[in-house]
Amino acid sequence: MSSMREILAGIMQAPGRSSIKSRKKSAGQVRKMVVLKNSHCYHHCLAQLQALGIKPVKKVAGAHAVVCRFPAKASLKALSAHSMVKRVEHDAKVRLHRRKPARSVRISAPCASVNAPQVIPWGVKRVGAPGVWRSHQGSGVKIGIIDTGISPHPDLRIRGRFNAIAGAPDTDENGHGTHVSGTASALNNSFGVVGVAPKARLYSVKAFDASGSAYVSDIVEALEWCISHGMQVINMSFGISGGSDTVKEQIERAYRKGIVMIASAGNDGPNTEQIDFPARLPQVIAVAASNSSNKVASFSNRGKGIAVTAPGVDICSTLPNRSYGLMSGTSMAAPHVTGAAALLLSKNRRLSPARIRQVLRATAKRLSGYSSLAQGAGLVQVDKAIRQV
């Protein structure tokens, strides 16, 4: 078998690339994630790339993953078959689960204000969170929001930040991540809104840029950060077309470490054959969206694997620039369940992800007229769930 250096040199000199030292982006290049079998193989690959003058786009040491731009016409069979390589995966784009056109900031009629008395959003009420707050508000539970980042906001207390996007500011340039965060954990104060778990420890894990776009490798790096920094709950309001074996491995690692993962089911409507990835993984609590009439939202995906339903239509939450607004999507449903998981963990830190899924499903309210393919076990009722743990 050829050495890794010989294989990489051959790939980089394939048609579509003039020399191995050329690093300019072009239409003739594609992003690929090379996942090595162990740490030794990972560092060996990095050394060979350095010797060839090739700078990786991204490195994720915990996942033994290296992202490079390769010529689109080059064959990667020899690299994939190398004894040190586990797989070569396309570094695909990832999409947020926000409705388009998004109903975001309503400048003329905001749904809350830092200058007005606090309101409890209808969704937070509907999942029964206020009935829990006297004894449990999620105190000390670490929530990682893998999203567009979280903007500074007087109604949010951000305990830490990570940014997987090189060269981008670590705040939220889009609004999606800030909105998701407010539903999970906006503060219980005198103004604005309040989240499901207002005393949880909120962490901004930025993987999506200003346009709401990410690469699979950004998700891998974000998950790696959450695992290594002790997150107890992870919110994932996005979907990856076709899935990703490397993301799947990271989620399996997180699950083994006892991390509760919540993901939105997707916004492609009732005619879908399955829910999105990573929501469909068995280690993840998949969330469908409902409206204020306790109907499953028209846009919410249907399919096997939905665990529960939560409010996801016209959800009032925090936005950048000290503002508030309405958004809809299964993206907005997921953080209700993320907050619910934090409330349960604040009562009993020893709860496993499997137990949290089980108790949320066992105490959910069945929505009339819908099968399990649309609603899972039904609408989350965290006030009932917390009495069972």
- pLDDT mean over 296-321: 97
Domains of the chain, by residue range, sit at 4-91, 96-386
| pLDDT-based confidence at residue 378 (cuts at 50, 70, 90) | very high
| pLDDT-based confidence at residue 109 (cuts at 50, 70, 90) | low
- Residues in the chain, overall count: 389
Which superfamily does CATH assign the domain made up of 96-386 to? Peptidase S8/S53 domain (3.40.50.200)
Query: Rounded to the nearest 5 degrees, what angle is found at the Cα of 97, between the Cα atoms of 283 and 168?
Result: 100
pLDDT of 39 over the 50 cut: yes
Residues 6+ apart with CB under 8 A from 60: 66, 217, 220, 221, 224
Candidates 56, 96, 339, 312; CA nearest to 206 is: 96
Residue 106 to residue 127: CA distance in whole angstroms: 25
pLDDT of 165 over the 90 cut: yes
Catalytic residue among 151, 237, 264, 331: 331
pLDDT of 107 over the 80 cut: no
| pLDDT-based confidence at residue 1 (cuts at 50, 70, 90) | low
Mean pLDDT of all residues in the chain?
93
> What local confidence, expressed as pLDDT, does residue 249 receive?
97
pLDDT tens per residue across span 257-302: 999 999 999 999 988 889 999 999 999 999 999 999 999 999 999 9
Give the bridge partners for 4, in sequence order. none
Catalytic residue among 147, 172, 209, 268: 147
> What local confidence, expressed as pLDDT, does residue 97 receive?
86
> By the 8 A CB rule, do 35 and 84 touch?
no
pLDDT tens per residue across span 139-153: 999 999 999 999 999
Which superfamily does CATH assign the domain made up of 4-91 to? Peptidase S8 propeptide/proteinase inhibitor I9 (3.30.70.80)
SS3 readout for the chain: CCCHHHHHHHHHCCCCCCCCCCCCCCCCEEEEEEEECCHHHHHHHHHHHHHCCCCCCEEEHHHCEEEEEEECCCCCHHHHHCCCEEEEEECCEEEECCCCCCCCCCCCCCCCCCCCECECCHHHHHCCHHHCCCCCCCCCCEEEEEECCCCCCCCCCEEEEEECCCCCCCCCCCCHHHHHHHHHHCCCCCECECCCCCCCEEEEEECCCCCCEEEHHHHHHHHHHHHHCCCCEEEECEECCCCCHHHHHHHHHHHHCCCEEEEECCCCCCCCCCCCCCCCCCCEEEEEEECCCCCECCCCCCCCCEEEEEECCCEEEEECCCEEEEECCHHHHHHHHHHHHHHHHHHCCCCCHHHHHHHHHHCCECCCCCCHHHHCCCECCHHHHHCCC
Give the bridge partners for 87, in sequence order. 35
- pLDDT mean over 53-57: 93
> By the 8 A CB rule, do 360 and 307 touch?
yes
Give the bridge partners for 264, in sequence order. 287
153 in active site: no
Tokens of 146: 């893998």
292 in active site: no
Lowest mean pLDDT among 52-56, 128-132, 190-194: 52-56
pLDDT of 99 over the 80 cut: no
Residue 214 to residue 219: CA distance in whole angstroms: 8
3 in active site: no
Helix 39-51 crosses helix 4-12 at what angle (to 10 degrees)? 50
343: amino acid identity, one letter: L
pLDDT tens per residue across span 179-190: 999 999 999 999
**Strands 260-264 and 233-236, bridge-based pairing:** parallel
> What local confidence, expressed as pLDDT, does residue 273 receive?
82
> What local confidence, expressed as pLDDT, does residue 103 receive?
42
pLDDT tens per residue across span 10-30: 888 755 443 344 444 556 899
The percentage of residues in the chain with a pLDDT greater than 90, rounded to a whole number, is: 86
- pLDDT mean over 164-192: 96
Between 360 and 74, the higher pLDDT residue: 360
Most confident of 71-75, 107-111, 137-141: 137-141
Which whole-number Å values give the CA distances from 175 to 182, 262, 380, in the listed order? 11, 20, 25
Q: What number of other Cβ atoms are within 10 A of residue 220's Cβ?
A: 27
Give the bridge partners for 319, in sequence order. 323
- pLDDT mean over 49-73: 94
> What local confidence, expressed as pLDDT, does residue 204 receive?
98
| pLDDT-based confidence at residue 100 (cuts at 50, 70, 90) | low
- pLDDT mean over 156-162: 98
Catalytic residue among 153, 176, 179, 336: 176
